Structure 1
Amino acid sequence: MHSLAPKRFHKPVIIQPGRIDRDRVVTTVAEAAELLLRAWPSPGSEQRLKAMKICLEVINGRKPPRSARAAFIVAAKDANIFLGDADHINDVIDLNLPVSEHSS
């Protein structure tokens, strides 16, 4: 049986799945799985399917969250929606600046 506690990524992942002004900061396996399932720009992608499978394995306690994070990044790069990692999540939340302007 798996834990109901959210399985967090050690470092958030930033993607842009839709509109240019709507970046998403993904911090948990559940968020990644939801995006892969419902908001992915390339639904037939092999990398998307692999990432979905790995997210399910993590949710069921068979793999660590870092496996889902890595697969999610590969799928996001494959779909051309990967923007980067967030060292400090507050640097990218509630600001109207592009993510590239948050880097020092």
Structure 2
Amino acid sequence: MVSSFFDRPVVVQLGRIDRDRVVVGVREAAQFLLYDWPQDSPARQAAMRACLAAIKGEVSTSAARDAFVAAAREARIYLGE
């Protein structure tokens, strides 16, 4: 069974300094992309596809994490690991 947890968490921030969020896995990333993402973009769509594919076992958790980080960087909400 493939783990649905990222090898390293991803820290994002939606606005206020005290609202950092630590995303630890594929399902949490997918929910965040679906419900809390600040803007739609091709990178967000790619991250959603990657997360859903990882949930189905079609791509690695690492690939989904990379797509999520790329979308977070583009949205300027990425804080680090």
TM-score (norm 1): 0.73
Q: How many Å separate the matches in 2 of 1:66 and 1:6?
A: 10
Counterparts in 2 of 1:39-54, with a 5 A limit? Answer: 39-42=36-39, 44-54=40-50
Which residue number corresponds to residue 72 of structure 1?
A: 68
Aligned identity (percent) is 48
Deviations, residues 68-100 of structure 1 (Å, cap 9, x unaligned): 100000000000000001xxxxxxxxxxxxxxx
- Taking the aligned partners of 1:56 and 1:50, their CA distance within structure 2 comes to 10
Aligned length: 81
Superposed displacement of residue 18, structure 1 = 3.6
Q: Which whole-Å deviations, capped at 9, do the CAs of 1:28-50 have from their partners, x for residues lacking one? A: 100100000000001x2110000
The within-5 A match list for 1:1-104 is: 7-42=4-39, 44-85=40-81
Q: Is the 8 A contact 1:6 1:29 kept in 2?
A: no
TM-superposition CA deviations, 1:10-67 (whole Å, max 9, x none): 000000024321100110100100000000001x211000000000000000011001
CA RMSD of aligned residues (A): 1.4
Distance 2:56 2:47 in 1: 14
Higher strand share: 2
Of Structure 1 and Structure 2, which has the larger fraction of its residues in helix? 2
Relative contact order higher in (CA < 8 Å, ≥ 6 apart)? 2
